Amino acid sequence: MSKELAELLFSKIDKSPEDYESIYPKRNLKEGAMVTRLGPSPTGFIHLGNLYGAFVDERLAHQSGGTFYLRIEDTDDKRFVEGAVDTIIDSLEFFDINFDEGASKEGDKGSYGPYFQSQRAEIYQCFVKKLVEEGKAYPCFMTEEEIAEVRANQEANKENPGIYGKYALNRDLTLDQVKAKLEEGLPFVIRLKSDGVSGENAKQISVEDGIRGVLTMPENFQDTVILKTTGIPTYHFAHVIDDHFMRTTHVVRGEEWLSTLPIHVELFTKLRFELPIYCHTAQLMKIDEEGNKRKLSKRKDPELSLDFYKEMGYHPTAVREYLLTILNSNYEEWRKENPELPCEDFPFTMEKMSNSGALFDLNKLNDVSKDTLVKISAADLYDFLLAWAKEFKTEIVSLLEEDKEYILRILDLDRDGNKPRKDFVCASQMFEYISYFFDKHFKLEDTMPMETTEEDVKKIVARYLESYDHTDDQSQWFDKIRKIGAALGYAAKPKDYKKNPDDYKGHVGHVSTVIRIALMGRSQSPDLWGIQQILGEAKTRERLTKFK
RNA sequence: GUCCCCAUGGUCAAGUGGUUAAGACGCCACCCUCUCACGGUGAAAUCAGGGGUUCGACUCCCCUUGGGGAUACCA
């Protein structure tokens, strides 16, 4: 009877399960090679949490000599967004996450496709048919109203909600009953006929998770929908079929899937497929407005979309470094010992991953970013800044292109030696930070120190300009400032002023701040002398003259 | 409601029965110093609570609490 039913429901399916086993044979990879995948739904929205997970997949596969592929999980047509696939690929590529196989801008790549679930209906249906044949799945015609009624009853009786056991009204329909309903043209879904039981008699299943160790949970008992009215499977079924036939060895996914794991285990078992190794990652969290820890969410956290980092101009390497520090707690230590090695050399392990959700920490990212950027050459930094500007700050592109040499010197200011400056965090901040070098962006931002008077300020600038010699070395230059200050009643050494504040108006630091503001518009900057050398004599004099 | 996962300073965390409970970010102070940054030194700050088990619990078990997730023909 099951066979007839299966034939009735899926008359168009001509391939057999065995056919697919040979179409998608086991991959010929070396021992220990992992096959991982990213399975985004095509909303086109990728956030830091996705990148976090993708990074795990990527590292695992590439570190082991395996394969990392992209599969588009578009079983929910309501979610489709045009151009989403390209967006996903671009976003990930920016952060150096590259796929070996799967959906790509040039179409499917690899021999385990199609890589869009919406194009795999035949494959899924073949196995749904098989399950029906074996009496492990059945058509269900229950209407929304019927389901709602069941639920209401269950709630009233304090029973587990869902379609299972005696509540699965269409579980044991006869062939004739099915035929009759079909003739009426009633829509139906295919449900799994679960062997599990609800409540105290439920069996416990154990699954070894790559990150969390042995997980023990009650078996599934729900007659979960595996094929929707549309003939497209639900995530659960598509996952099982795809990861089996794409020969995924490690399923890395967020912990929100933990509670549906028993469904997947039952499906794998009923299909007689080997279970992949599941790796359930903790979710990245953030603190919301009410001060609660919360999962990063697509709708509420646009600032945590990957685009945010691109727009701010965070360097992809910095983001990777940061992610690695929260992914594997021993990464920072390793990085300290191996400052020059690429992060790909770090032996990434699942066991070192945290089981609890990390809170995203912008402070930490900034710190990691400073350390990352300080290791990047001025030339590369320039290219990065320019590329960023072309996309997000076009008005400064010509400025950057006009005099590359000038900018290289600015970017390299005081970055050598064993105590290099670490001024740069991200592209937007970089430009802001060096903007005073450009007349167009130069403006007076800070006020003169309160230790100085208006009159003194004028005198200081005038005398400084008068004595200015561009060929002075740093100490000659600074001696002059000391003298100018001393003549006006400012201590030549800050310590003298601190000891006897009443003897002086201020100290040489205040004097140089005056010059700094006159020259840069700001009270804080890298070494003044070095800046003047880059600015050049003409511009230095010009700014001082203008200031008077 | 039910089920599942998680729980060490503000944040990320080391720790797997005996430790002065690492380290990093942030914060604060001091040093270096013409400002800032860098660098250095130091400080404050953590085992959610309650029961067990044990000679001994951050560590093992139970309960409570808190947080997260699932409970869809969404993924």
Q: What is the pLDDT of residues A203-213, one digit of tens each?
A: 888 888 988 88
Nearest to A444 by CA among A318, A350, A543, A526: A543
Confidence of residue A394 (pLDDT cuts 50, 70, 90): very high
Helix axes A362-373, A316-327, angle to 10 degrees: 120
A403 has a pLDDT exceeding 50: yes
| pLDDT score at A534 | 92
pLDDT of A292: 47
CA distance A254 to A240: 16
Find the residue closest to B40 using CA and C1' atoms: A419
**pLDDT in the model for residue A291:** 44
CA geometry: angle at A107 spanning A105 and A109, to 5°? 105
CA of A359 to C1' of B57 (A): 29
Q: Which three-class secondary structure state does DSSP give residue A532?
A: helix
CB atoms inside a 10 Å sphere around CB A9: 22
d(CA A127, CA A508): 82
- How confident is the model over A28-68, as pLDDT tens digits? 999 999 999 999 888 767 788 888 899 999 999 999 999 99
The H or E element containing residue A84 is helix A84-94
Residues A192 and A223 sit within 8 Å (Cβ to Cβ): yes
* pLDDT score recorded for residue A289: 47
Q: pLDDT digit string (tens) for A332-355?
A: 989 988 888 999 999 998 888 888
Residues A288, A295 contacting (CB under 8 angstroms): no
In the block, tokens 């520090």 appear at A325
A194 touches strand B (CB under 7 A): no
Q: Which of residues 359-418 of A touch strand B (CB under 7 A)?
A: 359, 361, 363-364, 366-367, 370, 414
With tokens 């004599």, the residue in question is: A537
Helix (H) or strand (E) holding A177: helix A175-183
Separation of CA A323 and C1' B56 in angstroms? 39
> Which of A349 and A199 is assigned the larger pLDDT?
A349
Q: What is the mean pLDDT of residues A474-498?
A: 88
Residue A367's nearest nucleotide, by CA–C1', is B25
Q: What is the pLDDT of residues A313-327, one digit of tens each?
A: 999 999 999 999 988
Q: CA of A47: how far to CAs of A57, A301, A403, in Å?
A: 16, 9, 36
**pLDDT (tens digit per residue) in A409-429:** 999 998 887 889 999 999 999
A419 touches strand B (CB under 7 A): yes
Whether a cis peptide bond, with omega within 30° of 0, leads into A342 is: no
pLDDT of A389 above 90: yes
**Token duo for residue A277:** 């190794």
> pLDDT tens digits for A66-88?
999 999 998 876 666 778 888 88
pTM of the model: 0.88
- In terms of Cα–Cα distance, which of A378, A381, A380, A362 is closest to A308? A362
Mean pLDDT across chain A = 89
Averaged pLDDT for residues A176-188: 93
pLDDT at A28: 92
In tens, the pLDDT along A11-25 reads 888 899 999 999 999
User: DSSP assignment of A471-531, as one string?
Assistant: T--HHHHHHHHHHHHHHHTEESSHHHHHH-GGG-SEEHHHHHHHHHHHHHSSS--S-HHHH
Residues with Cβ within 8 Å of residue A224, at least 6 apart in sequence: A191, A192, A194, A234, A236, A263
Q: 3-class SS at A256?
A: helix
Q: Which of residues 43-72 of A touch strand B (CB under 7 A)?
A: none
User: What letter represents residue A174's amino acid?
Assistant: T
Q: Is A469 left (phi over 0), alpha (psi -120 to 50) or beta?
A: beta
- Grade residue A298 by pLDDT with cuts at 50, 70 and 90: very low
Q: What is the pLDDT of residues A233-256, one digit of tens each?
A: 999 999 999 999 999 999 999 999
Sign of CA dihedral A316, A317, A321, A322: negative
Residue A421's nearest nucleotide, by CA–C1', is B38
d(CA A496, CA A486): 12
Global ipTM: 0.91
Taking the stretch 242-301 of protein chain A, residues with Cβ within 7 Å of any atom in nucleic acid chain B are 255-260, 282-283, 285, 292-295, 297
Tokens of A400: 């950057």
Predicted confidence at residue A299, as pLDDT, reads 46
Query: Does any strand B atom come closer than 7 Å to the Cβ of A192?
Result: no
**A530 closest CA partner among A468, A471, A474, A476:** A474
Instruction: Give, in Å, how far the C1' of B73 lies from the CA of A257.
Output: 19
Report pLDDT for A351.
84
Task: Compute φ and ψ for A103, nearest 5 degrees.
Answer: -60, 140
Contact A60, A281 (CB under 8 A): no
What are the beta bridge partners of residue A277?
A: A250
CA dist A370 and A322 (Å) reads 11
**Phi (first) and psi of residue A279, to 5 degrees:** -130, 100
Report the C-alpha gap between A461 and A519 in whole angstroms: 10
- What is the pLDDT at residue A143? 92
What confidence tier does A285 reach under pLDDT thresholds 50, 70, 90? low
Helices (H), A338-426: 362-373, 378-392, 397-402, 404-411
Q: Strand B: which bases are under 7 Å from protein Cβ?
A: 1-8, 10-14, 22-26, 33-39, 67-75
- For residue A369, the one-letter residue type is S
